[in-house]
Structure 1
Amino acid sequence: MELRHLRYFVAVAEELHFLRAAQRLHIEQSPLSRAIKDLEADLGVKLFERTTRSTRLTGAGEVFLEEARHVLSTCAQARASARGAATGRKGRLRIGFAEGVAQTRLSDLLAQYRAEATEVDLKIVQMPLEHQVKALHTGSLDAGFAFAPVRRNGIQADPVWTDPVVAILPSRHALAAKSEVELREIAREPLVLCGGETGMDRNMQLEAALLAACDLPNVVDRAENQQVQLTLVGAGYGLSLVLASNAETIQRSDVVVRPIAGSPPLIRTFLIYRGDESPGPVACFLERARAVS
């Protein structure tokens, strides 16, 4: 039994007329009749009662019609799913990101991708850079966002965007009265930086900028994440630096955001992925991510 036998059978069953069914299928009537006879022989049952005046389904034919329609529908769905996966419209996508990756930028990118690939099962997870690299190698992650250009063992890295740094100050701090602050002023104050493992690569970029402004930045504490960092700054333990795009979401009365005067440090974010990716949801996501860079 082949799928064409099922297609031929359904056409005859719906038309209840061999000539009309053959015209619908764009074939001659004789090969259609042979195919139905072959199908009946294969099944060992009679599917149609035929006379010179009419054609009607037998009881077995009525049951088989329901099953045949189901099989053809399942095959069509499987074909569409396979084609959708190949073009990136179906499948699953697992994205990792380091702590501190620009939240609004990532959210905008994911929204754009989701609008284009509504049937892709998208999952995102926060993890450190090295964990992302391991997950890419094992296949449990499809792509990731980090602050370091990892290019080793088949992993590729593309720069996708840069973000200026802004200062976060306690609202009662003297520098909070200024509309913008110098980086060297910030570097000399007690500093609370993020010390969580997930944002280690970003911290390296930040601390390189601080070292360029001051020989010995006064780092007094390292918070596990940005929420803890803001709480410590608000309590007056020190000042801090965050990405400008992440500062857009800060709504607290105990801290203020101030731009860095002159040319603020820029933190670059990279998209990391396996270099051997084949067409599908991952390739489509990479294309979309590169388009925003």
Structure 2
Amino acid sequence: MELRQLRYFVTLAEELHFGRAAEREHIVQSALSQQVQRLERELGVRLLERSTHHVALTAAGVVFLVEARQILAHVDRAAQAARSAVAASAPLRVGIIDSSYDSMPQILYEVQARYPGLVIHQVEASVPEQYQLLIDGRLDVGVGRAALAPPQIASLLFRQDPLGVLVPDGHRFAELEGVSVAILAEEPLLLAEDARAPEFNQFTVEMCR
């Protein structure tokens, strides 16, 4: 038994006319008749009395009509509930170090393309702040330069960034193709605030040592 057979039967029961029922369902009259006949064969009862100019429900048809309408209404409610659940779904809360962090637009674009109905909220926070927000349940996922996540947080390495130095024009490093760590020994280094990027700062210091 198919839902379309139930729908065709209900429409025919309301119209009591094959032509009008077929027009309502946007199918040809012969197809409507075949589907109703197939439904009757599956049920093993006659639902309609047919003649050249007359269509009427049998006693079985009257009883079946009530149930068929309830089934179709239930299906409609189920479909609406599913659509409402998607519309009301909570947004994905994403922690980012900085909205200009070059990976973020690419990552979020890919996610949005794959899940067009998803609402994404970006929350700018340092890596330590992201850890705490994740533990508290106020973020769903965080993105940042980090490798030492607390045990309560699952982490995944998705990219390794090359490390470089920024120098002004005219600096003795400016014309070099590459700057080795060893020649930085005599240079003062300006790092991020430790509260915002402790892991990155620690990594840089240990590398220089």
1:125 to 118, 123, 126: 123
The TM-score normalised by the length of structure 1 is 0.46
Task: Tell me the equivalent position of 1:23.
Answer: 36
Give 3-state SS (helix, strand or coil) of 2:177's partner. Answer: coil
The TM-score normalised by the length of structure 2 is 0.62
CA RMSD of aligned residues (A): 4.0
Rounded to whole Å, the distance in 2 between the matches of 1:129 and 1:121 is 23
Question: Structure 1 or 2: larger strand share?
Answer: 1
Rounded to whole Å, the distance in 2 between the matches of 1:81 and 1:207 is 52
2:79 to 76, 80, 88: 76
Contact 1:91 1:119 in 2 (8 A): no
Contact 2:128 2:197 in 1 (8 A): no
State the shift of 1:120 in Å.
0.8
With a CA cutoff of 8 Å and minimum separation of 6, indicate the structure with the bigger relative contact order. Answer: 1
Rounded to whole Å, the distance in 2 between the matches of 1:24 and 1:197 is 75
Task: Tell me the equivalent position of 2:24.
Answer: none
Rounded to whole Å, the distance in 1 between the matches of 2:142 and 2:170 is 38
Give 3-state SS (helix, strand or coil) of 2:162's partner. Answer: strand
1:34 to 63, 66, 72: 63
State the shift of 1:25 in Å.
9.9
Task: Tell me the equivalent position of 1:199.
Answer: 197
Correspondences of 1:99-110 after superposition (within 5 Å): 99=98, 103-110=101-108
Correspondences of 1:41-120 after superposition (within 5 Å): 73=76, 75-80=78-83, 92-99=91-98, 103-120=101-118
Q: Which amino acid aligns with 2:149?
A: V
State the shift of 1:112 in Å.
1.6
Give 3-state SS (helix, strand or coil) of 1:193's partner. Answer: coil
Aligned length: 172
* Max Rg structure: 2
State the shift of 1:170 in Å.
0.9
Percent of aligned pairs with the same amino acid? 20
Contact 1:98 1:129 in 2 (8 A): yes
Q: What are the ranges of 5 or more consecutive residues in structure 1 without an aligned counterpart? A: 43-67, 212-293
| Per-residue Cα deviation, 1:202-248 (whole angstroms, up to 9, x for no partner) | 2222222222xxxxxxxxxxxxxxxxxxxxxxxxxxxxxxxxxxxxx
State the shift of 1:91 in Å.
5.5
Rounded to whole Å, the distance in 1 between the matches of 2:136 and 2:37 is 50
